[in-house]
Amino acid sequence: MLTGLQIAFLGGDARQLEIIRKLTELDAKTYLVGFEQLNHSFAGAVKENIMDIPFEEIDAIILPVAGTNAEGHVETIFSNEKVVLTKEILNSTPEHCVTYSGISNAYLDDISKKANRRLVKLFSRDDVSIYNSIPTVEGTIMMVIQNTDFTIHGSNVIVLGMGRVGMSVARAFHHLGANTRVGARKSEHLARVTEMGIQPFHISELAKEVQDADIVINTIPHLVVTASVIAKMPSHTLIVDLASKPGGTDFRYAEKRGIKAILALGLPGIVAPKTAGKILAKVLSQLLKEDVLKRKESSTS
């Protein structure tokens, strides 16, 4: 249980609702900023303006998956309120207060460091990334079906990258009957592709490999699908880029060639916000429980 814990939610989308539901069920007291247009209410949760939050009593601040923008503004889907997280707000919190965000940026890193407050980036955790790969795969399949006029079964699919998402995507398309090939750099990743019964190739051979590609799915957050690679693709090839913004594709050249290229960001929150929220809620509740336990142990030692 999280009895006695006080948590401030600053903005967020449908995923945040699952986290709020879970933490209130665990008896945490929650303050909701940027939710006044939300019709639903949660027992133990209070909707407040950011100026009315008692930050000096707050044990944790939970931000949306995207964190803040470069000026500290927080996305508020359920409100027109302007919500900004500042260094002054963090300074006013207890020293043990932790900020949780999906990802971060230079602004959020900077104010957390200056305020000497811990910042946890949930999407950097293996467990969150692996769980999130499930709705990401389903969203990728959906996008491929919506943007092609042929079946996945029997098509030539190239997956780039053998990280947590790349592995799940490659396995799914392989089991759907696609002629799947995976491009990677590390020898251990190429070995894993072989062990999965899928055809591997070194990323340096990409320009040659794409010559018969129907679908190219990139998960590498660096420019790998370059103009010279796109120039070798058939005109009907679909590129789905799952890498973090700005992706790993030369989108300008793809458009010039008439090849459809989609930067598919945040698929879990788009195709399965309830599941994506439950994933974050499960991990967050465990982290908060561990944090409470550590503080109790340190206070008794």
pLDDT tens by residue, 260-296: 999 998 899 889 999 999 999 999 999 999 887 777 6
Q: Whole-angstrom Cα distance, residue 190 to residue 170? A: 12
> At residue 79, what is the residue type?
S
Residue 253 burial (10 A CB sphere; 0-12, 13-18, 19+): middle
Residue 254 burial (10 A CB sphere; 0-12, 13-18, 19+): buried
pTM over 0.85? The answer is: no
Q: Answer for the pair 6, 29: CB distance below 8 angstroms, yes or no.
A: yes
Closest CA to 174 of 192, 148, 149: 192
pLDDT at 55 over 70: yes
CATH 3.40.50.720 fits 6-124+273-300, yes or no: yes
Residue spans per domain, the chain: 6-124+273-300, 129-265
Residue 57 burial (10 A CB sphere; 0-12, 13-18, 19+): middle
- pLDDT, mean over the chain: 94
**Mean pLDDT, rounded, for 240-265:** 95
End-to-end CA distance of the chain: 22
Tokens representing 56? 């000096």
Residues in a beta bridge with 239: 216, 261
**Mean pLDDT, rounded, for 167-175:** 97
Gyration radius of the chain over CA positions: 22
Which residue has 């043990």 as its token pair? 96
Give the architecture-level CATH label for domain 129-265: 3-Layer(aba) Sandwich (3.40)
Q: Whole-angstrom Cα distance, residue 12 to residue 122? A: 15
C-alpha distances in angstroms, 116 versus 54, 89, 120, 129, 181? 19, 12, 13, 27, 46
How does pLDDT run across 69-119, given as a tens digit for each residue? 999 999 999 998 899 999 999 999 999 999 999 999 999 999 999 999 999
Q: Answer for the pair 260, 239: CB distance below 8 angstroms, yes or no.
A: yes
Q: Report pLDDT for 41.
A: 77
**CA angle in degrees (0–180, nearest 5) for 58-63-69:** 125
Q: Whole-angstrom Cα distance, residue 241 to residue 259? A: 13
Same fold, 6-124+273-300 and 129-265: yes
